[in-house]
Structure 1
Amino acid sequence: MPIDDLTWRVEKLVDEYRWTGDTETILGAEASGDAVALWRAVRVVDLDTSSPSLDAQFTAASTALGRLHYWRYRESSGERRNAELARALLCLEAVSDDVHRVPAELNPLVGRFTDPDAQADTALTLLRASASGPDPALLDAGILLLTPAAAASPRRSPLRAARLSHLCLAHRLRHERDGSAADLAQAVSTGEEAVAIAAEHGTDAPASWSRLAFAYRCRYRLHADPADLRRVIDLFERVLALSGPRAALLSDLGTAYRLRHEHTGDPTHVERAVALSEQAAALPEGRADPSVLAGLGACLLCRYERSGARADLWRAAEISERVVAALPEDDPERATHLVAATSVLLRRHERSRALEDLNRAVELGEQALSALPEEDRRRADALGGLAAALHRRYLSAGSDTDLDRAVTLGGWALAAVPAGHPDRARASMDLAAVHLTRHARTGVLADVARAIELGEEVLASTAACPPKWLSTLGGAYQQRYPTTGAVSDLDRAIDLGERSLAATGEDDFALAGRRARLATAYWRRHGHSPGGPADGTTDRTDLDRAIDLGERAVAGTPDDHADLPGWLAGLAAARLARHRLGGAPEDLDAAVGLGERALAIVPEGHPGRSRLTADLCDAYLERVTGGGPSPDPERLRELAGTVSGTRTASPVDRVAAHHAVGALAQAAGQTGLAVTMLDAAVTLLPSVAPREAGWADQQHRIGEHFGLVGTGVAAHCAAGDPAGAVEIAELGRGVLLASQANTRVDLVELRNRSPRLADRFRWVCDRLNTPDFPADERRRWWADYDALLTDIRALPGLEDFLAVPRLADLRPAAAGGHAVLVNAGGDRGDAVVIRADGAPVTIELPGLRLAEVEAKVTALLTAVESGFSLAGVLLRRRVVAEVLGWLWDTVVAPVVETLRSRGGAPYRVWWLPTGLLGLLPLHAAGRPGEPGALDVVVSSFVPSLRSLRQARNRPPGGRRSDLTVALRHTPGLPELPGAAAEATVLGGAALVDGQATADRVLSALGRSTWAHFACHGIVDPASPAESGLRLHDRTLRLPEIGGLRLAEAELAYLSACSTANHGTRYADEVLHLASAFQLAGFRHVVATLWPLADEVAVKAARSFYGELPGTPVADEAAAVLNRVTLGLREEHPDRPDLWAPLIHSGP
């Protein structure tokens, strides 16, 4: 309602009351509602910026409302009477220059004829009422009256000092209510003046000292200035010396010493704090005082955090529960004590490992939050306390809901703390810790990036950053390292960790945890230092430092501490690394012993058992492969039972644990158990990818389990189960591509059954195929996707909708030829031949081992990236020829020999190489001058049988619309002279050089069925998802290409650099440009394994298009590319590097 209308209504009520004398007119519900509405309207007017018309409205409204509250004051009694007077005074003070607007009774209080003594007396009455009354006007009006009363008192008089001292208290209380810096400044200045006047008169002023001490304590909490805290202690000590021991005073002084210890780390300060608090709680008035008891509990907790004394922690927890139980639910301070109790119970859980402590902490945190209104300044502490409780419960129980809510609440807690407030740094670091935990769970890089951002902001804004925060930030950099591979992250982690240790006292209980975290950073950096896994020397400086820190961390940690198992495991990893470096049997024995001890400590069902089991199995496996004893079958079954029964662990830990137990079982000759465990690991593998994140995060999380698929395939082959080998390879390879493909399926049958579900499923899939949406939205859409999938599978006939296909469903994809799965394990190599009309056949490849594959891939990649100088050409020619000969002897010749028994050449083969084998030119294998694979096999490469089936099921092109994208000139990259020639090879529409922007190319692809790219391809070995085509304005990345849905796409020819190179880090995900174009809808893709010489690229493209039929369908692409490659081989028999890289993908 407009302010004029409200003013009129209030004036009318007052007039009616004065005419009739009916008190209900001004005290009833209608009057109260109008009074509240007009009060709110008046209080938001800013007279400094208002217009003349608004000034007039404000004057009329203030007068009317002031008179209403005045008459309500006259007709009220008890607490309500004081509140009405306070509001009347606040309204009328604004118009008090006009004596006619102020009732005569109030002239001594506001206006031009005030009486300072009357003002002071009334102010003290209102201030006393504000202690129990909820109306903020009581405190505001008290300050309004007492300020001029103090100013009018004789200067340097005891009367002035008394009034200033009360003003100090009032301003401090209003600061605590509203957070006003001006009020806090006034509290300090008025308090100091009051104390100074008393000193001048030579009188003691304990009340004034106490009030000023509280003001300084507020300012210390706001700015963390040690001088303020020294002043607090000085003032309280003076009061204590004069007044003797009183419970509240002793408790307040104890709190001051506790805060001082938190700032200085001086143990004498915390001992003084505990002694004072114990004395306070022992006094009769302190034994039942919740504030006194809570102060003692806080001091005991502080001492525990320094000393680790279990008795202090248990007593602090017991006290916190007593305080909470003693306070009625409507006590305004109960929420504060609930937050404190939450914190204490969390710390006790670290020692007790009792889930009931965690559940109780969450319960109390929920109560605290629900007890505080949105505007309460304590809400930030309540939010942070509950976030911490949920975070810790996730760590112990593994609930994703707890973790996500902890992130949300932690963010709200940070937002609730004003900029510049010292509590903001703590809230930032608490939130950073939760983000790090969620990153460990999901692998979403944005979480660890946010943690680092928060930590660096705190470091930049904090003069003396506490060692705890330095250690947390160092841990964030350390956690980012596996994703980035940047040694600079480890260097930064070690620098921060060393600074943290230097700032931590030797007797500080937190020292062990900081040592353990730093030890892990040194252990990780060892992998990049001389003597590390990538180096041939034996420098082990970082590793020895890691072991020293780890041993000291373990030695300084009680057996019942919740973090001890993790620190034991970290030390075990470092000892295992040193054994691998130097072969010392005592290091291996220590690694096994530490791992066993860590696992034995953690209770059954705890999510941490999975990761600890994985680490222990790595140590066992090292012992077995080194010729030592293997665990007996019963122990292996125990380990298997542990990982199978720990369902609350994160998916990444569950996969790692099943993988480790399976590999150990395989090495121990327990093939059946190995197959079971490895199958379980691969089955879980799709769950480790954070579906709400982008391709980069997903590939990293899946790539952490590199080698799993190969190990699983080898186990099935060893067990004589080729069908199982194929199925496990299908499930574990190309997980990301399969997930994306499942969002773009044919919905004709579903639409016939349920148009509503089909429409909803399509809507959700369209959003999931849109890159770069926020993670929270994508998480919600994936939840919708899963729910819809459940509903769809409930329909008759659709029970297997998007279910993982079995081999019987996939075999038809190999119609007209053979699909060949090639796998290299640690101790065996195999090929599995799959036909549409028969059972799969295993071919043992005795010369194929993973170590040899790694060596060949390293040599090949080094050679093909050596450039086109004379030395580079000679290296490429030699190495490529050696690799092709080795592939023929080791893999392709045995496969061809098996195929000969099933018909004559040429054989149509779809290669399915696992792991690093996908980087090798199997299609071109052969010895120089002798018939090879090109002569007897028409080859294609496919990521999986599923992708081959999908390509076959797409309808062939019904029309032909050609597009060429050619860039001779690319900003910042070398010229491609042949691109101009390639631009004319295909014909049709062309985007050349500056025309070839990303947006134009994406738009043109939607209209085209054949596409030819002659440009630079960017391969990011560290993150293949970031690879792409380098266009005029930017790189067109894989997720953008794969996100397209091209219904009529037929052929893509990628004459760019290394368009079928997926790098070594995430080999089984088969992420490269060729697979992205297939995902987008192209049935056939021609790509290259390494950069092709410019003139050869032009000739190959001309020959390819010249031999293809001029129809919309490109089903002859594989055969034509085979003939083109044979022609290039004939022209360059001694240069296999010029003709071996061209490959085909598709049916």
Structure 2
Amino acid sequence: MREHKPQEHIPEDTSSNDKERETTSKNTEQATSNQADDMSYDDVAKQALFHWDRFSRLGNLDDLEKVIGYSIRGLDLIPEGGPDTIRWLGFLVKCHDSRYLRLKDLDDLEKSIAWCIRRMEVTPKNDVSLLSQLKDMVLLYKARYQRLRRAHDLEKMLEYSSRLLAYTPEGHPSLPEVHDRVGESYIYRYEWNNCEADLKQGIRYCSFALELTPDGDECLPYRCAAVAEAYLHLYRRIGNMADLKKGIEDYTRALELTPDDNPVMAHWLASLGRAYSDQYERMEDMDAFSRSIDQTSRAIELTPDGHPGLGDCHEILSRLYHHRFRRLGDATDLSISMEHISRALKFTPDGSQQLSDRFSFLGGLYLELYQARGDHQDLDRSIKLMTHAISFAPEDHHPARAFLYFSLGTPHGDRYRRTGNLADLEKAIEYHDHAAELTPKGHTLLPVRYVALSMALADRYRRMGDPVDLGRAISFIMSVLDLTPDNHPSFPEQCTSLGQLYIEQFRRFGHISDIDKAIEYRSRALKLTPSDNKRLNVMLSNLGLCYIYRCESSGDIADVEKAIEHNSRALELTPDGHIGRPGVCIFLGISYRNRYQLMGDIADLEKAIEYTSHALTLTPDGHIELPFRHYLMAASRHQQYQHTGDPSHLEVCLVSFRRSSKLSVAPPRIVFNNALDWARLASRHTYLHPIEAFRAAMELLPHFTWLGATASQRYYDVTMMDNLAVRAAAVAIRSSEYATGLEWLEHGRCLVWNQALTLRSPQAILEKSHPELAAQLYDVSQQLHCNENPKYRYDLAKKYSDLLAQARLLPGFEDFLQPTKAAGLLKAARHGPVVVVNCFRNDCDALVIMPGQDDIGHVALPNYTEAKARHARSEIEQLVCNKGLRERGFMLKGGRARVQEPDPDVGLVLADLWNDVIKPVLEHLGYLTNDVTGQLPHITWCPTGALTFLPLHAAGDYDQPRSKVFDYVVSSYTPTLTALLTSAPTMPHRVPRVLAIGQTATSGYSQLPGTTRELASIRTHTRDRAEYSQLTGRKATPKAVLKAMENHDWVHLACHAHQNVTDPTKSGFFLHGGRLDFAEITRRSFRSKGLAFLSACQTATGDERLPDEAAHLASGMLMAGYPSVIATMWSVMDEDAPMVADMVYSELMKDGKVGGGEAGRALHNAVARLREKVGERNIARWVPYIHIGS
């Protein structure tokens, strides 16, 4: 830690060597001559003193061996505990300590400690020698700590120094030294645990020792240096400039009191040089820079060649020149810094802890070199050096590791931003997280580590889109600003980082206030950045980017002008070859393109293309930004083609769009958005090849809604897709590519659903020929299916993807778990036609699949539009709202008085649905001329987009006879064709096991007395036909219900339910003691199930933002393994539910099976009876009941 004047040990003889060590390694018991056993006690004592005296004069280790032997013999000749025992033990302590200093054999140090402990055990508490013994214990534990770096020795050092202080009387001449020992012990412990309280205790004791030391005392300069070093520690811990000033003052005083020929002079000069380096880093004071070089250079002159202290001096100079490089950007300073740290490493002894710091620092310099010139080899070398540095670090939780983790996290983050490798990003977050955890609150480096962690989380947010990452990133930066004074050199960087996070927040939520905040913070950062700072160009371009975003939102020409102004200045300050030059060119290209869009001047568009072309020329292959830059070129060239009509511009445009939409190292979200924008444009301009564009977007879809993201995040991602599947299908159908349209609808809708089904897909075929791979795939898929922790999902998804790729390399498994082609989808029509109805804007079409047919029928529906569908939904929702249909158990009449709008005429929208959608389909099928006296045919409807919320099964003109869908067919629904393919009818080899759940009373909701009758009727119908169990009241907890569902084939839920409009995964059934939610249900993987009857409200309502995701409880039951589900589109009357259930079970129990259309037919008949009872026009009562599945 620091140098001491006290003569603590016998001077080291540097002439010892390995041969000398070998000759003295024999047992001490054999060191004496054979006559020792025959000597008298007095002769043994004389011989011991004689050899000790000669060793003290000549340093011959043979004499030391004899002293040890005679001392052990002397102990044997006297009784334990006497005064001579203490003296002999003292001899042994000194002998082993002296030999340790000569040979560095740890065994000697261990024996010296052991003899010292034994000496203290036999020494009376009032013995005057106790003070010197306690001092010896402090010094020995200090020596062992310096050798082994174990916390136990630190604690012992502090324990014995504190006891030494307690035994030292007031006024004793050794009191200053004792206080110094206690202070030194605390400071050592601070260096181990980074505890600020220990450091302040150390300063307190060392300062008191200095106060007690008179002028002229030979220890005075040492104690000045000790106090100086302690205050410098405190400055580096909390950043208080007064502590830095105090440290410089005390080191200066120590040097003034010390002659140049003192061996400690060089070390103190180097320490003062480092203090001035700290001052330069903080204040950017060139006088401090010069003083640091002067002091450190003097230290080098006074340090002998080959001395380890030279390493400290060169490290200080390296850091000093590095600070100036970061300030001014002169590459010469970086080269000098690298030269000095390389020299420092040459002077660093093997096994030194400084190896880790210095290798890490050299790695950091290579990182700076990469950031300056963009050579990826510098980046790889940086990571290699920093990884090597960790191998020399202390144990895992040592505070010294915080700096190493922070240092290593930074190049991994840079390599991710260069290559897009997600593994690098995860490592960056992991290392920065560890660094922040190991850095105590209030530490001066905590803000820097929070910023690094924040930026890594922001990178992951941009990659994965998880708002939790963005929220954490903003939280860290805000806490950093609270900790950092405005005049701190790092404050501008922190402001610009916060500005970036507000940009991300603006891009997600679209609030203009966020971009205003980004401009505010980045303007502040620019104002605080000196004009000669090498980062000025970055600050300018960062602010310019903010104006680009605000211009694109507001259309204000003033924002465009500011964007051009700032980015032009940034480009002037960015030298050729600088890694940031392509980015600045891109910002300028975007700025000029924005001005062209506002003002129409073709010169601006030409400048935009010029700057974008230059950026592309400077961007190396494999760079993470390359696809986006190709997209910007494509967009600009398209505008140029529109302006000029020159086909060469269109050709470049298409090439650029293709390159921008190719999956590479860039984040898949970026590449997908490039393809989506191309597809949007192409749907309006056919010369942009719409089918090719949509195919590119559809192929990227699984990477956009990545399995590694949580279900909530994937649902959010779906809302960002702009109805891709229905839009793409409309284009394909328009081009008569019906099979392509069918595939795109299947693969681009219900994405979260399909991913869950894939994870549960049977792997029996793979298991037969490759059981080990199948087992691994099954294990990972089950973990993915059940684990929503983002940290684990990323790793699991990567492993799952790798295993799938491995399986697809096997012969015969090329299409293993690949999306089903159209030929396979046609098999979904097993029990009647399946009709997929697609509706996007003015394109509405039905694709008809018939059992046993290989062709896809097409029915154009030109009279229906997306606008009509949205109007129909609005009218139905208004009716539901007017009736108060919020939950099961509502009352149509007799409620409290309220002002109510008149009911909309839902009959009109149902008539439109009949005439424009259903009737043309039934005509195509030939069903309108069927004999209705027999069994009605069964149709499964698969609506898309806005149609998913409409009751197709209730379509009809209720003013005309035989003009309603239920007059001609039995209707069921399916969210996807895959849902029909994966379902199989339950086999009648045994009676079904039926579970009924009933909740008559739920806190905060209306009573449901009808559930009692409902369950009673089910019990009656299942008697002698099925095994029946029920859970009601307090027994029906979420946990108990889930467990019971595992052991039963059918489940009937008669209770309240809720559709969460904010997060569909939180929709659920209200049971006793909690909610059984959608997320929990979909994590289940039930086998061989049958019917799920959801006699509750809103179980098939769906989410308005996710029309094609079937994000409702009914789909959750399908996903969980129930092939047939009866559910409700809105709330039902408590008096109706028992009647419908009674009719359904009465019919189903005749055969005891579902899955072949039986449940749909049973519900059709039950609803017909309800319709007879309440009237056809009482739509609110009978329409909500629907059947989903097979």
What's the TM-score, normalizing by structure 1?
0.77
Which of 54, 74, 80 in structure 1 is aligned with 2:104?
Answer: 80
2:1109 aligns with one of 1069, 1076, 1084: 1069
Contact 1:957/1:1009 (<8 A) preserved: no
Which of 607, 611, 620 is the aligned partner of 2:624? 607
Q: How does 1:301-380 map to 2 (within 5 A)?
A: 301-302=322-323, 309=329, 311=331, 314-315=334-335, 318-319=338-339, 322-323=342-343, 326=346, 330=350, 332=352, 333-374=354-395, 377-380=399-402
Give the whole-Å Cα distance in 1 for the aligned partners of 2:1042 and 2:617.
57
* Residue from 215, 223, 226 that aligns with 2:238: 223
SS across alignment from 1:910 = strand
Verify the 8 A CA contact 1:966 1:991 in the aligned structure 2: yes
1:572–1:590 Cα contact (<8 Å) kept: no
Report SS of the residue matched to 2:528: coil
1:1028-1043 residue pairs with structure 2 within 5 A?
1028-1043=1068-1083
Which residue identity lines up with residue 1055 of structure 1 in the other structure?
S
Pairing partner for 2:455 from 429, 433, 437: 433
Q: Is the 8 A contact 1:595 1:616 kept in 2?
A: yes
Structure 1 residues not aligned, in runs of 5+: 1-11, 36-55, 103-109, 533-538
Is the contact made by 1:410 and 1:430 (CA closer than 8 Å) also made in structure 2?
yes
Deviation at 1:399, TM superposition (A): 1.5
Residue 947 (structure 1) aligned with residue 979 (structure 2): yes
Equivalence map 1:76-115=2 (5 Å) = 78-80=102-104, 90-97=113-120, 112-113=128-129
| Residues 704-719 of structure 1 mapped to structure 2, 5 A cutoff | 704-719=720-735
Aligned: 1:399 with 2:421: yes
How far did residue 788 of structure 1 move?
A: 5.5
**Counterpart Cα distance in 2 of 1:939 and 1:627:** 54
2:633 is aligned with 1:633: no
**Which residue of the partner structure matches residue 959 of structure 2?**
929
Cα separation, partners in 2 of 1:1001 and 1:148, compared to 1, 3 Å = closer
Structure 2 match to 1:915: 945
| Local SS of the residue matching 2:759 | coil
- Pick aligned residue for 1:647 from 656, 664, 686: 664
**Larger gyration radius, structure 1 or structure 2:** 2
- Paired with 1:237 and 1:122, the residues of 2 have a C-alpha distance of 32
**Cα distance between partner residues in 1 of 2:451 and 2:335:** 27
Quote the Cα distance in structure 1 between the aligned partners of 2:537 and 2:667. Answer: 26
Instruction: Give the distance between the partners of 2:997 and 2:595, measured in 1 at CA.
Output: 53
Is residue 812 of structure 1 aligned with residue 862 of structure 2? Answer: no
Task: Letter of the 2:991 partner, please give it.
Answer: R
Change (3 A) 1:185 1:575: same
How many pairs does the alignment contain?
A: 1072
Give yes or no for contact 1:876–1:1137 (8 Å, CA) kept in 2.
no
Q: Distance in 1 between matches of 2:988 and 2:591?
A: 57
Q: Check conservation: 1:643, 1:657, Cα contact below 8 A.
A: yes
Following superposition, the deviation at residue 216 of structure 1 comes to 0.5
Q: Deviations over 1:576-635 (max 9, x none)?
A: 99999x999999979977988876764432122334555776788899999999994322
Within-5 A mapping of 1:518-917: 559=574, 602-611=619-628, 632-645=649-662, 647-670=664-687, 673-692=689-708, 694-746=710-762, 749=765, 753=769, 762-771=778-787, 774=789, 782=797, 785-786=800-801, 789=804, 800-825=815-840, 828-835=843-850, 836-846=852-862, 861=877, 864-865=880-881, 868=884, 877-878=903-904, 880-881=906-907, 883-888=909-914, 890-900=916-926, 904=930, 908-917=938-947
Larger deviation, residues 1083-1092 vs 985-994: 985-994
Structure 1 residues 750 and 89, CA gap change in structure 2 (3 angstroms)? closer
What residue in structure 2 maps to residue 105 of structure 1? none
Say if 1:147 and 1:80 are closer, same or farther in 2 by CA, change over 3 A. Answer: farther
Tell me how far apart the structure 2 counterparts of residues 1129 and 640 of structure 1 sit (CA, whole Å): 56
Judged with a 3 Å threshold, the aligned counterparts in structure 2 of structure 1 residues 249 and 634 are, in CA distance, closer, same or farther, namely: farther
- Structure 1 residues 930-964: Cα deviation after superposition (integer angstroms, max 9, x where no partner): 42444444332222211111124765784233333
Q: Conserved in 2, the CA contact under 8 Å of 1:161 and 1:195? A: yes
The correspondence for 1:1009, drawn from 1049, 1053, 1073, is: 1049
Does the aligned pair in 1 maintain the 2:161–2:185 contact within 8 Å?
no
1:562 is displaced (CA, Å) by 5.6
Change (3 A) 1:598 1:1050: farther
- Where 2:431 maps in the other structure, the secondary structure is helix
Q: Following TM superposition, by how much is the alpha carbon of 1:811 offset from its aligned partner in structure 2, in angstroms?
A: 0.8
1:865-920: CA deviation from partner (whole Å, max 9, x where unpaired): 56628999976942744543444455434434433399858664333333343223
Match of residue 406 from structure 2: 384
Deviations 1:625-649 (A, max 9, x none): 9999999432233223423555112
1:1054 aligned onto 2:1066? no
Give the Cα separation in 1 of the matches to 2:357 and 2:741: 60
Q: Shift of the alpha carbon at 1:293?
A: 4.8
Q: Which amino acid aligns with 2:412?
A: L
User: In 2 relative to 1, CA 354–80 (structure 1 residues): closer, same or farther, beyond 3 Å?
Assistant: closer
SS of the residue aligned with 2:729?
A: helix
Rounded Cα–Cα distance in structure 1 between residues aligned with 2:1102 and 2:280:
55
Distance 1:584 1:95 in 2: 94
> Are 2:1150 and 1:1110 equivalent residues in the alignment?
yes
Q: Distance in 2 between matches of 1:630 and 1:876?
A: 58
The 8 Å contact of residues 317 and 348 in structure 1, kept in 2 or not, is answered as no
Q: Answer yes or no: is 1:1086 the counterpart of 2:1126.
A: yes
Structure 2: distance between partners of 1:786 and 1:348 = 36
Q: Aligned letter for 1:218? A: H
Q: Structure 2 residue aligned with 1:1121, among 1155, 1163, 1170?
A: 1163
876-885 or 160-169: which moved more? 160-169
Helix, strand or coil at the partner of 2:391: helix
What root-mean-square deviation, in Å, do the aligned CA atoms of Structure 1 and Structure 2 show? 5.7
Tell me which amino acid in the other structure corresponds to 2:998: A
Distance 2:278 2:756 in 1: 54
Residue 224 to residue 453, structure 1, CA distance change in 2 (3 Å): same
Report the alpha carbon displacement of residue 722 of structure 1 after superposing the two structures with TM: 1.0
- CA apart distance, 1:733: 1.9
Contact 2:728 2:744 (C-alpha < 8 Å) held by counterparts = yes
Q: Give SS of 2:234's match.
A: helix
Is contact 1:97-1:112 (8 Å) kept?
no
Q: 1:816 to 1:482 in 2, by over 3 A?
A: farther
Offset at 1:217?
0.8
In the superposition, relative to structure 1, how do residues 1128 and 192 fare at CA in structure 2: closer, same or farther (>3 Å)?
same
In structure 2, the partner of 1:38 is: none
Q: Percent same amino acid among aligned pairs?
A: 23
Give runs of aligned pairs for residues 27-38 of structure 1, distance below 5 A.
Answer: none
Pick from 997, 1001, 1020: which aligns with 1:969?
1001
SS for the counterpart of 2:681 is helix
Moved more, 1052-1061 or 162-171: 162-171
Structure 2 unaligned residues grouped into runs of 5+? 1-25, 38-47, 49-60, 69-79, 885-891, 1020-1027
Deviation at 1:365, TM superposition (A): 0.8
Instruction: Look up the SS of the partner of 1:1091 in the other structure.
Output: coil
Secondary structure of the residue aligned to 1:831 is strand
Helix, strand or coil at the partner of 1:1039:
helix
1:382-407 Cα shifts (integer Å, max 9, x gaps): 12211221122112111222222333
> Alpha-carbon deviation of 1:746?
4.2
Query: Contact (CA 8 Å) 1:957, 1:1049: kept in 2 or not?
Result: no
TM-score by length of 2: 0.75
CA distance in 2, matches of 1:984, 1:620: 71
Conservation of the 8 A alpha-carbon contact between 2:626 and 2:660: yes
Question: Any idea what SS the aligned residue of 1:742 has?
Answer: helix
Q: Do the aligned residues in 2 keep the contact of 1:572 with 1:592 (CA within 8 Å)? A: yes
Contact 1:547/1:571 (<8 A) preserved: no
- Give the equivalent residue in structure 2 for 1:1146: 1189
Query: Would the alpha carbon gap of residues 763 and 1135 (structure 1) be closer, same or farther in structure 2, given more than 3 Å must change?
Result: same
